[in-house]
Amino acid sequence: MVRPIMKDPLFLAMKAEPAVEQDQDVIRDLQDTLQACRDRCVGMAANMIGQRKRIIIVSAGPVPLVMVNPRLLSGRDTYEAEEGCLSLPGIRKTTRYRHITVAYLDSRFKPKTGSFEGYPAQIIQHELDHCEGILI
């Protein structure tokens, strides 16, 4: 189901809880909502649709990548980035890693480890911040 985008800064500042296998509906809603916003959005965290769960989705290939309970294992090579966010007005500066390695569960809760660089890595870091209640 396509959900409205959460814009309440107090809600968005709360940390997300670990997701469990019963949270499949949150994954589906994230997929549907990202699809509905794809002209202006490349990634989304569950708290952006009002669900305080550690689930993110990243538009980084032909099929958006779902990451459940993602954890940054390492990052290197920082740079200054400018980002926007569907939940916030305007563009803001932030610091990101060019290369990251992330541990996560896929949409079927299978453990994965992935290395990412460039734009996909930037999107993942933005959404990881959302899980921690951090906004750009």
Of the candidates 21, 82, 117, 127, the residue annotated as catalytic is 127
Shortest separation between residue 53's beta carbon and Zn ion, angstroms: 16
| Amino acid at residue number 75 | G
Closer residue to Zn ion in complex, CB, 58/85: 85
Query: How far is it, in rounded angstroms, from Cα 131 to Cα 126?
Result: 9
Closer residue to Zn ion in complex, CB, 35/113: 35
Residues near Zn ion (CB under 5 A) are 85
Cβ(72)–Cβ(114) under 8 Å?
A: no
Does residue 17 carry a catalytic annotation? Answer: no
- CA angle centred on 40, ends 119 and 32, rounded to 5°: 95
Nearest to 87 by CA among 121, 37, 32: 37
Shortest separation between residue 44's beta carbon and Zn ion, angstroms: 8
Residue 22 Cα to chain centre, angstroms: 19
Residue nearest Zn ion, CB atom distance: 85
Closer residue to Zn ion in complex, CB, 50/109: 50
Indicate which residues carry an active-site annotation.
127
